[in-house]
């Protein structure tokens, strides 16, 4: 298996633009997580899906952020409009068993820079 695949690897955009980050979880995994990593705040959980359904989105910073999981093999995280403070590395991770959430498999991340 190729592991969790994220795209793009790097994204540079200007303030106010829409940004869409993409994630393909490992086949057969039924839970998917989006995290954001910054030096100041560390690794923050944004949203968690189980069987394609959002279970906990309390970490989503504000209404500018939205996430979808239309099917078991694809998820998107959208920021509209983007702001410089959104600059961070965004990670997607999946787990085989959403009941216990043991052993997350992470993608390589998307480095987002908002100018």
Partner 1 sequence: SQQGEEDPQALSIQEGENATMNCSYKTSINNLQWYRQNSGRGLVHLILIRSNEREKHSGRLRVTLDTSKKSSSLLITASRAADTASYFCATDGGSYIPTFGRGTSLIVHP
The verdict on 70 binding partner 1 (CB under 8 A) reads no
The verdict on 106 binding partner 1 (CB under 8 A) reads yes
Taking residues 37 to 56 in sequence order and writing x for each that binds partner 1 by CB under 8 A, - otherwise, the string is -----xxxx--x-------x
- Quick one: residue 79, left, alpha or beta (phi over 0 = left, psi -120 to 50 = alpha)? beta
Residue number with CB closer to partner 1 (43 or 115):
43
The verdict on 12 binding partner 1 (CB under 8 A) reads no
The verdict on 104 binding partner 1 (CB under 8 A) reads yes
Sole binder of partner 1 in the list 21, 79, 93, 112 (CB under 8 A): 93
Sole binder of partner 1 in the list 20, 73, 108, 113 (CB under 8 A): 108
């Amino acid at each position: 298996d190729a592991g969790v695949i994220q795209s793009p690897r790097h994204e540079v955009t200007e303030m106010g633009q829409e940004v869409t980050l993409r994630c393909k979880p490992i086949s057969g995994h039924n839970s998917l997580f989006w995290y954001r990593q910054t030096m100041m705040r560390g690794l923050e959980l944004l949203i968690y899906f189980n069987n394609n359904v959002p279970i906990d989105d309390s970490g989503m910073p504000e209404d500018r952020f939205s996430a979808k999981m239309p099917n078991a093999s694809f998820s998107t995280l959208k920021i509209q409009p983007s702001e410089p403070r959104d600059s961070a590395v965004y990670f997607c991770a999946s787990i085989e068993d959403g009941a216990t959430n043991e052993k997350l498999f992470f993608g390589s991340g998307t480095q987002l820079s908002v100018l």
